[in-house]
Structure 1
Amino acid sequence: MPPMTLSGIVTKAGFMNKTATVTVSRWVEHKLTGKRIVRSKKYLVHDEVNQLRKDDVVTIRNCPPVSALKRFALHQLLKSPETERDVARARKAQETSESLTSTSVPSALQS
């Protein structure tokens, strides 16, 4: 089987050791009406270090069978809302601490 790479969203993680469920969605056109329809499929993905969390956007790649149902492995973590939130909180805390240190000392006493 040639290498196949799919992009999807983690819908379930942390319940099984080294395994996450990734939902891959695609658009198809209805034959009669011509309207676009969303089709999705769930894949069990091997996550060696248990780094995936719910709502992460990932790229997965097919691999030799890891277990009875796992045929894909994590290729790349594209976006993680949880990590982005932690980074934003750290940045905000750093900005507030910098603003407190700069405003706590009056300018006449600094020189």
Structure 2
Amino acid sequence: MNTHKREIQGVVVKRSGDKTVSVLVTRSVLHPKYHKTVKKFKKYLVHDERNEVNVGDTISALECRPLSKTKSYRLNTILARGVE
């Protein structure tokens, strides 16, 4: 059985309903043809049980069982507080 859980780090861009936040994860990849570093973005929905995260915070989230149709990550730690 695979016990390794994926971990993502990103910035909270939206509080989407009760106990849910939308997190923008940025990663840098090398373009295959032009050999230039390009930023790639993806948004994930993260479960925040205590509603303690605000927009602008940098968080870490762990993969878990599906909590809804699109939500499969739980809040792990808050790495940095945002400007708000």
Q: So what's the TM-score if we normalise by structure 1? A: 0.70
Identity of aligned residues (%): 33
Task: Output the CA distance in 1 between the equivalents of 2:38 and 2:82.
Answer: 27
Higher strand share: 2
| Residue of structure 1 equivalent to 2:39 | 38
| Residue of structure 2 equivalent to 1:12 | 14
Number of aligned residues: 82
Q: So what's the TM-score if we normalise by structure 2? A: 0.91
Q: Rg bigger for which structure?
A: 1
Task: Output the CA distance in 1 between the equivalents of 2:80 and 2:10.
Answer: 11
Higher relative contact order (CA 8 A, sep 6+): 2
User: What residue ranges of structure 2 are gaps of 5+ in the alignment?
Assistant: none
| 1:68 Cα offset (Å) | 1.1
Task: Output the CA distance in 1 between the equivalents of 2:30 and 2:69.
Answer: 33
Structure 1: 4+ residue segments shifted above 3 A: none
Higher helix share: 1
C-alpha RMSD over aligned residues: 1.3
Q: Deviations along 1:20-63, whole A, 9 cap, x unmatched?
A: 00011100000111010000110000000111111100001100
**Partner SS, residue 71 of structure 2:** coil
| 1:6 Cα offset (Å) | 1.0
Task: Output the CA distance in 2 between the equivalents of 1:42 and 1:80.
Answer: 19
| Residue of structure 2 equivalent to 1:73 | 74
